[in-house]
Amino acid sequence: MRMIAVDAMGGDYAPEEIVKGAVDAVISDGIGVILVGSEKQVREELRKYSYPDNLISVVHASESIGMGEHPAKSVRRKKDASLVVAARLVKSGQAAAFVSAGNTGAMMAASLFELGRIPGIERPGIATVLPCPDGLPRVLIDSGANADAKARQLVQFAYLGSAFAKSVLKIEDPRVALLSVGSESSKGNEVVIEAHQLLQDAGDLNFAGNVESRELMTAGVDVVVCDGFVGNITLKAVEGIATALMGMIKEELTKNPLRAFGGILVKPGLKEMAKKMDYSEYGGAPLLGVNGISIICHGTSRARAVKNAVHYAHQAVTSDLLGMMRRGLE
């Protein structure tokens, strides 16, 4: 049984929602889970549920890392923090992957310190699956791990994102694009222009050129590459605009549901739209480039998002994501 370690103390709604989500994953998908955190608190939550005893175990961690704490310093100082212990379980082979909704920076630091990097990777990148109108997933990498990146590191992100799209999203030949201010190869800053040339020369990547941010949801590509500063701003802008639009539509439908869209009742369609735009559908984003499966969840994750993140981690393990990334970088 390949177990998934879950940081039970990470996130705004820990441990209640984290434990519930993990139990839901065990019951619905039969995934084995190791809950890491205060044993007393975790077992108190577990008493609320019925589940197969052989699929859930608890590993005690006496410390936790808060959202406002300095990531690297906290990881070095708090050796028994729940997310550090979870990463250590992957390193020792007791778990196949780990999931946390805790401090993102600490999650990255723990992944790097405990697991190290895949050979050929200078910096890992966060790969976020974007919800799109056509229902097809698109990967944005890096969405927040590195504020600055060199051209060769953007190329490394392209290989990582392509491997992820192949193994986990089952896209046979992912089309990779570079996020820029124009489609022409001469557009962008010096790093983007250099990266474009390097990607063009990479014969084993299906490089589709540049895409602009307005094409992010509609361009016929599968992986969009950028540095973490641009990626994080882009991701948060998309989330904010989607939330505002959904709020506006709901308000209009509440006022007059039949007149809002030409006399057609569209409330059922609104639910489907909301589902497509919901980050909890995937539950988390993998940190690609570290020598292990590390899934970073939103700090506000509730049980449904945690359940999906555990499923996501399990899928990454069974599809041999690590092996595919290593082979792609050789």
Q: For residue range 129-163, what is the model confidence (pLDDT) as tens digits?
A: 987 767 678 899 999 999 999 999 999 999 999 99
Distance CA 317, CA 32 (A): 13
Total length of the chain? 330
Q: What are the counts of helices (DSSP H) followed by strands (DSSP E) for the chain? A: 11, 11
Strand 56-60 with 33-37, pairing: parallel
Domains and their CATH numbers in the chain: 1-121+289-330 (3.40.718.10)
Which pLDDT belongs to residue 243?
77
Report, as ranges of residue numbers, the positions in the chain whose pLDDT lies below 70. Answer: 1, 133, 135, 253, 256-282
Contact 160, 289 (CB under 8 A): yes
The DSSP result for 122-139, as a single string, is SS-EEEEEEP-TTS--EE
Q: What is the pTM of this model?
A: 0.89
What does R_g of the chain's alpha carbons equal in angstroms? 20
Question: pLDDT at position 282, please?
Answer: 64
In this predicted model, what pLDDT tens digit does every residue of 27-55 receive, in sequence order? 999 999 999 999 999 999 999 999 999 99
Task: Give whole-number Cα distances, 53 to 34, 48, 58, 75, 210, in Å.
Answer: 11, 14, 11, 31, 51
pLDDT at 280: 57
Per-residue pLDDT at 220: 86
* Cα maximum dimension of the chain: 61
Measured CA to CA, the distance from residue 191 to residue 142 in angstroms comes to 14
Burial-class residue 10 by CB neighbours within 10 Å (0-12, 13-18, 19+): buried
